[in-house]
Each structure stands twice: as structure tokens, then as C-alpha cells.
Amino acid sequence: GGDFEVTMRLGVKHPSQKALAPLVRESATASVSMAQGGLIGPGTLSPVISGFCFLMPKTGAKPVVDAGAGPVACEVETAGGFTLSASASVQPVPAAPPTGPTVTLPLRELCYARSGDKGSAANIGLIARRPEYLPVLRHALTAERVKVFFLPDCK
């Protein structure tokens, strides 16, 4: 349920920049695969790297604030949070061709998009702007049509 709503910021210091290189490398993939706005990508190596997100029970986090005079406990409400994901109760919508008259529109008028990549693999997620657009989007945007659109880069 709602007991996993925590963001953690991690700063790492080490006398050797070479020792921090694996952290930079591993953080780069997280910046494209985690929720947008939730991660500060490391960019290039600097003396202090920060930005690491993961899930843990809110009750397990004991926040403190240190403004230079030592840590001070900071009480944070842990009750409540998000309800269960609506995804758990979603029924699949089958693909269906359009019925009746049609018009040609830019895809962005029918859906939002998000993309990411890992090495030589990429993904594109589309979110219908209105529920009634979903069957037609599923009908029109097959893997084969997307592949043809991205040729010759897509294998």
C-alpha cells in the first residue's frame, strides 16, 4: 500500500576519483529508467557525487537535519501515502481499428510519450491522452510499424 514513499539523497566522498567511477557508471542507467525528476544524474565525476533513489518503508527512515551544529532529529509523519496502484485493477484494452470517419493527426495529439535506453536497447512508452484513443493506438502502433519508422537504426 502506501508505506513506500521515501526519497534518499546520498553523497559519496573518496580520495580517489577512480574508485567512484563504478558508481557514476551505474547511476547513469538509473537516470533513464527511474521516475523522471526523482534522480539527479551524476554527469561527470566531481569531488562529491549525489543522487541515489530506492524504496524502503517510510517507518524505517529516521530523518535528521545537520546545519553544521550536529544532527537534530526531524519527526516526519509516516501514516498515509499512496493507495494501491490503479495498475493492479486495470483490464487490458484490445486493439481495434478506427470506426467511422478518420483524420490524420500528429501522434503527440493522441498520446504522451516517454523513452529510455540501456546500451544498445531503447524503449518508448506511450500514454493515451484519452481512454477512447487506446484501442486505435494499440491497433496502429505495432512493433513492426515502429521498427520500420526507426530503420535503419532499429534491428
Helix (H, G, I), strand (E, B) or coil at 118: strand
User: How many CB atoms are located within 10 Å of the residue 20 CB?
Assistant: 19
Low-confidence ranges of the chain (pLDDT < 50): 1, 4-6, 36, 39, 42-43
Q: What is the pLDDT of residue 48?
A: 55
Half-sphere exposure of 120 (CA within 13 A, CB side): 3
Q: What is the pLDDT of residue 67?
A: 84
